Amino acid sequence: MNQDQLKQLVGRAALDHVPAGQVLGVGTGSTVDCFIDALAARIAAGAIAIPGAVSSSERSTQRLRSHGIQVLDASEVTGLAVYVDGADEIDGRGFMIKGGGAALTREKIVADLAETFVCIADESKLVKTLGRFPLPVEIIPMAAAQLARRFARLGGEARLREGVVTDNGGHILDVRGLAIDDPLAFETEVNQWPGVVTVGVFARHRAQVCLLGAADGVKTLRF
């Protein structure tokens, strides 16, 4: 199977983790698009009913609404049983790099509401050490040069993602050349730097379940 087929495979597999009758957290990205489409088909068939979803981006909000699924604001819920989202990288402990779609801040907000984070990804996203994928960092624009220098002292090369403004009005630095051996400590440190809105390491909000699409089917990893 090609990568698109693997995304569809895990998107459908994630439906087994959707709690009927409860508001669902929904992430962002091409794999999540497949999940939203599969969810809508399941709802249309009468196989599942949910009162709505909390979305992590305008992109996902539009896709959910196009299928007639009600989108709730995060402020309207006090918690979520499940949050379904993709990852740019995930390691063997459930720690992830996210933010390739520039929605990392809102993704962390929705993930923080959820009891269980279900990551859906193809097997190419599973890595031993985080950092092969350029690390996205949402920043306040005036801090870009200052933050690039700080990442350089860690051995990283930070570049501004041209033409990208997040749903929050922030900019994105992509940092290459890092090997993140201690994701929790790294996330805690970088989040304290002035000008950082959110770093794309998801350690405090790691996945509890990963549905990994492979040529021989979906592998379920639990952390």
- The one-digit pLDDT tens for each residue of the chain (223 residues) are 888 999 999 999 999 999 999 999 999 999 999 999 999 999 999 999 999 999 999 999 999 999 999 999 999 999 999 999 999 999 999 999 999 999 999 999 999 999 999 999 999 999 999 999 999 999 999 999 999 999 999 999 999 999 999 999 999 999 999 999 999 999 999 999 999 999 999 999 999 999 999 989 999 999 9
Contacts of 208 (CB under 8 A, 6+ apart): 94, 116, 117, 118, 222, 223
- 119 and 10 fall within a common domain: yes
Residues 9 and 83 in one domain: yes
Q: Is 123 a catalytic residue?
A: no
Binding-site positions for substrate read 28-31, 85-88, 98-101, 125
What burial letters (b/e) apply to 54-83, b meaning 16+ CB within 10 Å? bbbbebbbebbeeeebebeeeeebeebbbb
* 67 and 54 share one domain: yes
As a whole number of angstroms, the distance between CA 88 and CA 99 comes to 7
Pair (168, 191) in one structural domain:
yes
User: Based on the domain organization, do 83 and 185 belong to the same domain?
Assistant: no
Domain that holds residue 106: 3-128+204-222
Tell whether 151 and 107 lie within a shared domain.
no
- Could you tell me if 71 and 145 lie in one domain? no
Whether residues 111 and 95 share a domain: the answer is yes
Name the pTM for this structure: 0.96
Strand arrangement of the beta sheet that strand 114-122 belongs to:
71-72, 53-55, 24-26, 80-85, 114-122, 209-214, 217-222
Summarize the annotated binding site as residue ranges. Answer: 28-31, 85-88, 98-101, 125
How many structural domains is the chain composed of? Answer: 2
Instruction: Say yes or no: 149 and 214 in one domain.
Output: no
Determine which one of 107, 138, 162, 187 is catalytic.
Answer: 107
